[in-house]
Amino acid sequence: MSAAIVTRELGKRYRSRWALRDCDLELPAGAVIALVGPNGAGKTTLLQLLVGLQQPSAGSVSLFGRPEPGGSAQALAQVGYVAQDHPIYRRFRVSELLHLGRSLNPGWDQDLAERRIEELGIPLRQRTGRLSGGQQAQVALALALAKRPKLLILDEPVASLDPLARREFLQVLMATVVDEGLTVLLSSHNVAELERVCDHLVVVADGRVQLAGDVEALLGEHRVLTGPSGGLPDGPGMIHVDRADRHAHIVARIGDAEPMPGWAARPIGLEELVLAYLRQARDPRPVPSELELSK
């Protein structure tokens, strides 16, 4: 599969503090890619670097094989971006927003935009400032899709939506991906919600990529090992240890390897996997030092 997004040693520094650093990613075209991480991890910074809203302090970005496109009109015409607070001009009527979109975007699909708005039950004459947060998010998505982008970048798209609207939003997104072969990169805190829709995962914490890859492959490579906490195994691939009573649960990257005698291995879920890497990032003590604690 060809890459939609490639970053090399990408970094962004605000004064002396790195918001994102040493970011090397190769994200496949046609995939739905989840970007997850805690508050302040660097997710928005990464998305803004990709769309040229921020200039890198280090490294480079390329979209669809075109190097360093950040901000170039040609590259941005292929990208639909919906920012975290999905800002839309609140005094405009929905119809005026569509008119603006048509004027600014050569590939604009007015039929698609009107159809989406109609499906949402939103009157075209309505002023956007009078719409609920969820409706504004849906309008912002409709505007981004009407650009007919090859790449859709969504920063926390479902944060303001109720559970039903979240589900519908993600369903529309998935249908569009299938119909159009769109690449979608979306950030979120809620991993469980993305489990059903994403096929590629990027975990960031503390300004660094902690884990990236195809979801199925990552789930296949990791196991949860359970055994006596007094005899913790050592070695590479040990991501995070959790102790409960006299047992230890270890998230380990061991592929198909057999666990040590006395230990049981079970498959891992996506949320569990992400949490293990986030905990490792928060408490980067290597597992062997935890071994000392268990003695």
Ligand X SMILES: Nc1ncnc2c1ncn2[C@@H]1O[C@H](COP(=O)(O)OP(=O)(O)OP(=O)(O)O)[C@@H](O)[C@H]1O
Q: Is 40 in the site for ligand X (CB under 6 A)?
A: yes
Question: Which part of the chain contacts ligand X (CB under 6 A), choosing from 1-9, 25-33, 40-48, 195-203?
Answer: 40-48
Containing H/E element for 109?
none
Nearer to ligand X, 16 or 103 (CB): 16
Q: Are 191 and 274 in contact (CB under 8 A)?
A: yes
Pick from 6, 36, 42, 128 the residue near ligand X by CB under 6 A. 42
Q: Is 41 in the site for ligand X (CB under 6 A)?
A: yes
Question: Which part of the chain contacts ligand X (CB under 6 A), choosing from 34-42, 92-100, 162-170, 280-288?
Answer: 34-42
Q: Is 209 in the site for ligand X (CB under 6 A)?
A: no
Nearer to ligand X, 187 or 229 (CB): 187
Give the shortest CB-273-to-ligand X separation in angstroms.
19
Nearer to ligand X, 41 or 278 (CB): 41
Containing H/E element for 207?
none
What contacts 132, CB < 8 A, 6 or more positions away? none
In angstroms, the CA 75 to CA 72 distance is 5
Containing H/E element for 288?
helix 287-294
Pick from 11, 37, 69, 101 the residue near ligand X by CB under 6 A. 37
Give the shortest CB-58-to-ligand X separation in angstroms.
15
Q: What are the angstrom distances between the C-alpha of 252 and each of 73, 236, 237, 240, 265?
A: 44, 9, 5, 7, 10
Q: Is 87 in the site for ligand X (CB under 6 A)?
A: no
Q: Is 19 in the site for ligand X (CB under 6 A)?
A: yes
The residue written with tokens 């005899």 in the block is: 231
Q: What are the angstrom distances between the C-alpha of 219 and each of 29, 40, 153, 200?
A: 21, 26, 24, 11
User: Using CB under 6 A as the criterion, which residues of the chain lie in contact with ligand X when the complex forms?
Assistant: 14, 19, 37, 39-45
